[in-house]
Chain A
Amino acid sequence: MAIKSVTKVRKRISFAILSFVSFLWIIPLIWGLATSLKTDNDIAMNPTSLIPKTFTLESYRDLFTKIDTPVMRWMFNSFIIAVSHTLLYLIVASLAAYAFSVLKWKNKERLFWLVLSTTMIPAVINLVPLITMMIDFNWFGSWLSLIIPGLGGVFGMFLLRQFFLGIPSELIDSGKIDGLGAFGIFTRIVLPLAKSAFLVTGLFAFLGSWNDYLWPLIVMSSENVTMQTLPVGLSKIASTYNYDYGLSMAAAILSIIPVVIVYAFTQDKIIEGVSRTGIK
Chain B
Amino acid sequence: MNDSSLTVPAKRPSQFVQKLKKGLTPLVFLIPYLTIFSIFFIIPFIYGIVISFFDWNLFYPEQTTFVGFNNYYRIWFDTSSIFYTYFWSGLKNTLIFVICSVPLLISVPLFLAILIDLEPRGFRVFRTILFMPTVLSISAVILVWKWQFYNNGGFINSLLTKLGMAEIPFLIQQPWAWISILIVTIWWTMGTNMVIFGAGLKNVDKSLYEAAAIDGANYFQTLRFITIPSLAPQMFIVGITTMLASFNVYGQPDLLTNGGPNFTTTVLMMRIRGLAFGANARAGIATAMAVSMGIIMIVLSVIQARYLRKRGE
Residues of A within 8 A of B (CB): 3, 7, 10-12, 14-15, 17-19, 21-22, 25-26, 28-29, 31-32, 35, 43-44, 47-48, 91-93, 95-96, 98-100, 103-105, 108, 115, 118, 120-133, 135, 148-152, 154, 157, 173, 176-177, 181-182, 186, 207, 210-211, 213-214, 218, 221, 230-235, 237-238, 243, 245, 248-249, 251-252, 255-256, 259-260, 262-263, 267, 270-271, 274-280
Do the beta carbons of B290 and A125 come within 8 Å of each other? Answer: yes
| Residue from B115, B154, B298 with most neighbouring chain A CB atoms (10 Å) | B115
Do the beta carbons of A129 and B51 come within 8 Å of each other? Answer: yes
Do the beta carbons of B130 and A22 come within 8 Å of each other? Answer: yes
**How far is A234 from B39 in the complex, measured between Cα atoms in Å?**
31
- Smallest CB separation, A70 vs chain B (Å): 15
- Smallest CB separation, A78 vs chain B (Å): 9
Do the beta carbons of B136 and A238 come within 8 Å of each other? Answer: no
- Which residues of chain A are within 8 angstroms of B132 by Cβ–Cβ distance? 25, 260, 263
Asked, given contacts A26-B129, A131-B276, A274-B195, whether A234 binds B42 with beta carbons under 8 Å apart, the answer is: no
- Which residues of chain A are within 8 angstroms of B119 by Cβ–Cβ distance? 11
Contact pick for B48, options A10, A126, A181, A275, CB 8 Å: A126
Contact pick for B144, options A29, A124, A177, A207, CB 8 Å: A29
Interface residues of B in 35-51 (CB under 8 A from A): 36-45, 47-49, 51
Do the beta carbons of A238 and B116 come within 8 Å of each other? Answer: no
- Which residues of chain A are within 8 angstroms of B123 by Cβ–Cβ distance? 14, 18
4 shortest A-B CB distances, which residue pairs?
A: A275-B199, A96-B33, A278-B196, A152-B37
- Smallest CB separation, A118 vs chain B (Å): 6
State whether the Cβ of B121 lies closer than 8 Å to any Cβ in chain A.
yes
Asked, given contacts A214-B250, A249-B144, A275-B195, whether A122 binds B297 with beta carbons under 8 Å apart, the answer is: yes
- Which residues of chain B are within 8 angstroms of A48 by Cβ–Cβ distance? 155, 158-159, 162
Give me 11 other A-B pairs in contact (C-beta within 8 A), A15-B121, A22-B129 excluded.
A10-B219, A19-B126, A25-B187, A47-B153, A115-B34, A120-B298, A121-B294, A132-B51, A133-B47, A152-B40, A245-B153
| Residue from A99, A176, A233, A245 with most neighbouring chain B CB atoms (10 Å) | A99
| Pairs across A and B, CB under 8 Å, 13 listed | A18-B126, A43-B153, A47-B153, A91-B32, A124-B269, A125-B49, A128-B277, A131-B276, A152-B36, A152-B40, A252-B144, A259-B140, A276-B199
Please count how many residues in chain B sit with their CB below 8 Å of the partner chain's CB atoms: 104
- Which residues of chain A are within 8 angstroms of B122 by Cβ–Cβ distance? 15
Contact pick for B25, options A125, A148, A182, A260, CB 8 Å: A182
- Which residues of chain A are within 8 angstroms of B87 by Cβ–Cβ distance? none
Do the beta carbons of B118 and A14 come within 8 Å of each other? Answer: yes
Asked, given contacts A25-B129, A92-B33, whether A234 binds B140 with beta carbons under 8 Å apart, the answer is: yes
- Smallest CB separation, A148 vs chain B (Å): 7
**How far is A251 from B255 in the complex, measured between Cα atoms in Å?**
16
- Which residues of chain A are within 8 angstroms of B195 by Cβ–Cβ distance? 271, 274-275, 278
- Which residues of chain B are within 8 angstroms of A133 by Cβ–Cβ distance? 40, 43-44, 47
Residues of B within 8 A of A (CB): 2-3, 5-6, 23, 25-26, 29-30, 32-34, 36-45, 47-49, 51, 56, 58, 112, 115-116, 118-123, 125-133, 135-140, 142-148, 150, 152-155, 158-159, 162, 187, 192, 195-200, 203, 213, 219, 233-234, 237-238, 244, 247-248, 250-251, 255, 269, 272-273, 276-278, 283, 286-287, 290-291, 293-294, 297-298, 301
Asked, given contacts A122-B293, A148-B36, whether A129 binds B44 with beta carbons under 8 Å apart, the answer is: yes
- Which residues of chain B are within 8 angstroms of A278 by Cβ–Cβ distance? 195-197, 199-200, 233-234, 237-238
- Which residues of chain B are within 8 angstroms of A131 by Cβ–Cβ distance? 58, 276-277, 283
Asked, given contacts A18-B112, A125-B48, whether A44 binds B40 with beta carbons under 8 Å apart, the answer is: no
Asked, given contacts A121-B45, A211-B137, A280-B237, whether A252 binds B143 with beta carbons under 8 Å apart, the answer is: yes
Q: Whose C-beta in chain A lies nearest to the C-beta of B142? A: A238
